[in-house]
Amino acid sequence: MMSTAKPISIVENFEIYAPKLVDKEEFFCSGHRACQGCGEALAIRLMCKALGKDTVIANATGCMEVIATPYPATAWTLPWIHVAFPCAAAVGAGVEAGLKVLRRKGVNPDRYIKTVTIGGDGGTVDIGLQALSGAMERGHDMLYVCFDNEAYMNTGIQRSSATPFGASTTTAPAGKASIGNKTWKKNVPEIMVAHNIPYVATASPSYPIDFMNKVKKARAIQGPTYIHCLSVCPTGWRAKSEECIKLGRLAVETGVFPLYEVENGVYRLTVETPDPLRPVTDYIKAQGRFRHLTPDEIRTIQRRVNLEYRKLMNKVEHSLSWTE
């Protein structure tokens, strides 16, 4: 499993460079009500630092709106708008259109402001998929970041189409007659690639520099871009709060959630994975949501992870740029 471009090893360099590279200014401030060890809140903080001040955020309904904006308090120092659950991408599209036209007409200062829309997996891959598809297809100058914690955590860990096979959730519980969630995680980054947008990436706050670099890259592209960020939810995954970062790394090292980017159709792995991959059990055993799985069932998951990883690596090796 070789990639054509050499992946950058982030972890080794992280401790040396990270403190110097990261903006000191906070745009998503402390004091919000996220659970201990929330991967999503951490990821948003990092995302904002990579985006900088000249940004407007549109937020889908979900944990982040609830924990960060209990009126009259707000954790946001960036301009921020929340409307409803399914329509964040459409709200973002309207923000982008409004900012563009007001700048053109001289109502706003002549300065580029980036529109960024964020949502959880439910607000992105299920109820928000139509609005997302529309916004991406129309070519709005907007970065959309999905913070995927693999279930409807805000409403109490119900299954979404991003929930992995075999996970127990409150609407797809494991029981004598059920393995829990019976379907394989919907591959939304691939659906975004199919929209022929200039930039799609997967990311994780466990690899902060990789994530922030991707956010910066997407920010610089004037067009629709998409980042799918795996955000560990210790509460919903039935895991220890202090293991949030570790679980994010295990997801990458086991090949369950490889970190890659697709620029104008060209796939590139951005964080190297061990060869061979770590066994999925390392990832699964640390999470209560998979507690009920039998060795046979885990082997089924391992086979699927191997297959998906191979499919991805084929793309990394063979994909061609559509701009050339």
Question: Contact between 228 and another protein (CB under 8 A)?
Answer: no
The kind and range of the H/E element at 148 are strand 142-148
- Which residues have a Cβ under 8 Å from the Cβ of 120 and sit 6 or more positions away? 40, 60, 62, 63, 64, 146, 147, 148, 149, 152, 153, 154
Token readout for 21 is 């590279």
If the CB atoms of residues 61 and 181 are measured against another protein, the closer one turns out to be 61
Binding another protein by CB under 8 A: which of 9, 130, 155, 183?
130
Question: Contact between 72 and another protein (CB under 8 A)?
Answer: yes
- Which residues have a Cβ under 8 Å from the Cβ of 194 and sit 6 or more positions away? none
- Which residues have a Cβ under 8 Å from the Cβ of 168 and sit 6 or more positions away? 174, 180, 181, 289, 290, 291, 292
If the CB atoms of residues 105 and 176 are measured against another protein, the closer one turns out to be 105
Question: Contact between 78 and another protein (CB under 8 A)?
Answer: yes
Span from 4-12, 53-61, 152-160, 297-305 in contact with another protein (CB under 8 A): 53-61
If the CB atoms of residues 128 and 180 are measured against another protein, the closer one turns out to be 128
Question: Contact between 56 and another protein (CB under 8 A)?
Answer: yes
Question: Min. distance of Cβ 233 from another protein in angstroms?
Answer: 19
If the CB atoms of residues 53 and 182 are measured against another protein, the closer one turns out to be 53
Question: Contact between 223 and another protein (CB under 8 A)?
Answer: no
Determine the Cα–Cα distance for residues 201 and 221; give it in Å rounded to an integer: 13
| DSSP tag of 286 | T
Token readout for 163 is 């929930």
Span from 66-74, 242-250, 258-266, 298-306 in contact with another protein (CB under 8 A): 66-74
Question: Contact between 139 and another protein (CB under 8 A)?
Answer: no
Contact 251, 214 (CB under 8 A): no
Question: Contact between 195 and another protein (CB under 8 A)?
Answer: no
**φ, ψ for residue 200, nearest 5 deg:** -135, 140
- Pattern 79-118, another protein, x by CB under 8 A: xxxxxx-xx-xxxxxxxxxxxxxx-xx-xxx---x-----
If the CB atoms of residues 109 and 276 are measured against another protein, the closer one turns out to be 109
- Three-class SS of residue 152? strand
Binding another protein by CB under 8 A: which of 66, 221, 245, 298?
66
**φ, ψ for residue 118, nearest 5 deg:** -130, 150
Binding another protein by CB under 8 A: which of 69, 158, 187, 300?
69
Within positions 16 to 35, which residues make up the interface with another protein, using CB under 8 A? none
Residues in a beta bridge with 230: 148
If the CB atoms of residues 70 and 156 are measured against another protein, the closer one turns out to be 70
**φ, ψ for residue 312, nearest 5 deg:** -65, -45
Residue 304: count other Cβ atoms within 10 Å of its Cβ: 17
Question: Contact between 162 and another protein (CB under 8 A)?
Answer: no
Residue of 214, 270, 275, 274 lying closest to 250 (CA atoms): 274
If the CB atoms of residues 76 and 257 are measured against another protein, the closer one turns out to be 76
Residues in a beta bridge with 145: 118, 227
Question: Contact between 55 and another protein (CB under 8 A)?
Answer: yes
Span from 125-133, 144-152, 286-294, 295-303 in contact with another protein (CB under 8 A): 125-133
Chain contacts with another protein (rule: CB under 8 A): 53-56, 58-59, 65-66, 69-72, 74, 76-84, 86-87, 89-102, 104-105, 107-109, 113, 130-131, 133-135, 137-138
